[in-house]
Every structure is written in C-alpha cells, then in structure tokens.
C-alpha cells in the first residue's frame, strides 16, 4: 500500500474525527494433606462468599461451553422487537436501547455494549492515530517492521472510517454510559461483556472521576460475574483469575482477589489441564506452574491439583479449549475492533 494512500486516508479520518467530536464536550476521562486441602477450600469458599454473597453457594452448571450466554440472562429474544439495523447511528438509538436493556432485554443490552465499545475505540483511535500515522509516514528506514506498521495504521484508519457514521455526534455524557452498559450486558448474560468488565482497567473507563460509584459496583459484581462465567466453562475468565491471583495483571480484579500462590497454582493447573489438543504448553505457562509450586508444600500441591481437576471436570466437562479461544480483556472490550 502506498504512503500517499495512507496520507489521503488520514485526511479522511481527520474529517470524520471532526464530525465525531462536534457537539461533544471534553470528557474528564485486582502440614498435612488435610490442612493443605483446607487452605485451598478456604480460599475457594472466601471467593464464593464474595461472588455469591453466601458461604453455602454451590455451582449449578457443568459442561457448558464458553460460547453460551451466562445463566443471568432473563429475556427471550423472540419476545422483543427487532433491533435497529447494524451500523445505525448510536446517538439516535442509545436511549431506546438503554430503555430496553433496563427492562431486561439481553439482546438490546449486548447491542448497546458492543456499539458503545466500538465508539470508545473510534474515539481512542481518533486521538492516537494521526500522530502515529505521521511517524510511520516519516519513517524512511528499510526496517521490515515498517511495512507491518503501515498495515497496522491502515487497519485502524479503515476501522475509524467504517464506524465514523455510527459514532457521530456522541457527547461525553453519552459515552459515560459505557461502563454501566458493559455491566448491564454482563449481568444479562453476555460473556464477552463479562470478560471485558471483570478484566477492566480503570484507565479505560471514561468518566470515572465523576462516577466513583462505578468502583463500588465493580467490587460488588466482579467476582459474581467471574464465578458465573467459570461455571459455564469460560476459559478467558479462568485466565483472568489465574493472572489476578498470580499478580501478573495489576488491574481491578487483582485488587479484589489479592495474590495467592495456592490459588494461582490452582488456576495455572486448570489452564494446563485445558491445553488445546496437539499443542505444547507455552514456556510462560510452564514457568508459572514451576514458580507457584515452589512456594507450596507437597500436600498443598496435591490438594490444589485435586481442586483444579474438580473444576476442569465440573465446569469444563473435561474438554480442552480450542486454540485461540482465550481472549484478553482488551480484546473482549474491543470486540470487532481493528486488532494489533
């Protein structure tokens, strides 16, 4: 692709960005075998108390795939009017989608979540792409990475251009619906929204400064959503929990779970049990198991192995995940975004 073409496309995006921001205010934008098993079970019960609100909560579902909607879904798609055509300007349908979602329409909630995440990504790219594009266009080196960067810029320019009309005229107040919409879609059963919300980074929440209640909402709902997703075989959520307990992701979830070598090993073991058929564990996964096992006694390791095996059997039906099935929280939030 020619540099001239990107320069022309960049100009088009700049024009689209002007339209996108018109009418918009500036946004203020976690001993013995018996004792070891008790350690694991105590940690699991503690998490369930936070997730379920009671120490007696039990898992209800087994063998469900991560592609199914969470059990919290309460609406039947056939009972609701059709959704607006894809690509409809979000500004014109936002109030209607929100009203339908508030009434329990899971499809409307998912649509609002996805459209708002798309427009949040358009907003971010409109802020970052012009500078990046200029740097790429001014790079005269023969580094092979330059070609990849040109492709990256072009994908992002295409994404913003293709979604400019849908995202036009959204104000800061409109965009402040992003976090509540993501939570609502997750509560109504959207697994992608659940992964996006649970794996949230505060820096990605526009309007947080003016809405401190969102942090309390996260403390109240995140582990409950994580538990529901795990019970339905969501490998992406299992990875989020492994990272949170292991401390490798300093996000909001880690602040709630804290770090725990026992729980980190348990989830790392679960991930190893679900290794895709015909593939080898990554060095990172092998290192995680070795690192956390080195912090545990043999009895703790045996108890954690049993806990992981129980989760694998009960929640994942002893079925390995598919290659590429795990999406990061950023990918879950971006959905059909341009990617990297």
The 10s digit of each residue's pLDDT in 75-102 is 455 467 899 999 999 999 999 999 999 9
User: How many degrees, rounded to 5, is the angle at CA 83 between CA 77 and CA 84?
Assistant: 175
The 10s digit of each residue's pLDDT in 152-184 is 888 999 999 999 999 999 999 999 999 999 999
Confidence of residue 339 (pLDDT cuts 50, 70, 90): low
Q: Is 42 exposed, middle or buried (0-12, 13-18, 19+ CB in 10 A)?
A: exposed
Which pLDDT value is given to residue 324? 78
DSSP string, 70-83: PTT----GGGSPPP
Please give the Cα distance from 112 to 96 (Å, whole number): 10
Please give the Cα distance from 338 to 158 (Å, whole number): 8
Which pLDDT value is given to residue 246? 94
DSSP string, 226-293: HHHHHHTT-HHHHHHHHHHHHTS--SHHHHHH---HHHHHHHHHHHHHTPPTT-PPPHHHHHHHHHHH
Confidence of residue 130 (pLDDT cuts 50, 70, 90): confident
Confidence of residue 202 (pLDDT cuts 50, 70, 90): confident
User: How many degrees, rounded to 5, is the angle at CA 196 between CA 190 and CA 86?
Assistant: 55
The mean pLDDT value for 31-35 works out to 42
What percentage of the chain carries pLDDT values higher than 90? 53
Please give the Cα distance from 126 to 20 (Å, whole number): 9
Q: Is 50 exposed, middle or buried (0-12, 13-18, 19+ CB in 10 A)?
A: middle
Report whether 228 contacts 194 (CB < 8 A): yes
């Amino acid at each position: 692709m020619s540099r001239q073409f990107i320069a022309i496309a960049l100009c088009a995006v700049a024009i689209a960005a002007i339209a996108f921001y018109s009418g918009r205010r500036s946004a203020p934008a976690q001993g013995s075998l018996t004792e070891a098993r008790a350690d694991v079970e105590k940690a699991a019960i503690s998490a369930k108390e936070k997730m379920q609100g009671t120490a007696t909560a039990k898992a209800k579902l087994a063998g469900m795939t991560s592609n199914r909607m969470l059990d919290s879904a309460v609406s039947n798609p056939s009972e609701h009017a059709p959704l607006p055509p894809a690509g409809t300007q979000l500004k014109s349908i936002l109030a209607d989608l929100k009203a339908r979602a508030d009434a329990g329409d899971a499809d409307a909630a998912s649509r609002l979540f996805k459209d708002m995440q798309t427009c949040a990504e358009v907003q971010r790219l409109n802020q970052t792409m012009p500078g990046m594009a200029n740097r790429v266009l001014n790079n005269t080196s023969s580094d092979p990475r330059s070609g990849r960067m040109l492709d990256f810029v072009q994908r992002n320019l295409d994404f913003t251009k293709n979604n400019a009309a849908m995202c036009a005229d959204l104000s800061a107040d409109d965009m402040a619906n992003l976090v509540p919409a993501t939570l609502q879609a997750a509560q109504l059963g959207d697994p992608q929204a659940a992964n996006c919300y649970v794996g949230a980074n505060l820096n990605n929440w526009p309007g947080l400064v003016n809405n401190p209640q969102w942090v309390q909402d996260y403390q109240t709902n995140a582990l409950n959503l994580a538990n529901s997703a795990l019970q339905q075989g969501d490998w992406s959520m299992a990875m989020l929990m492994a990272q949170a307990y292991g401390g490798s992701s300093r996000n909001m979830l880690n602040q709630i779970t804290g770090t725990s070598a026992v729980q980190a090993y348990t989830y790392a073991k679960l991930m190893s049990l679900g290794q895709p058929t015909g593939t080898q564990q990554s060095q990172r996964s092998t290192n995680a198991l070795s690192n956390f096992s080195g912090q545990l006694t043999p009895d703790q390791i045996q108890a954690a192995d049993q806990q992981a095996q129980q989760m694998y059997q009960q929640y994942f039906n002893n079925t390995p995940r598919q290659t590429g099935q795990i999406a990061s929280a950023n990918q879950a939030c971006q959905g059909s975004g341009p990617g990297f």
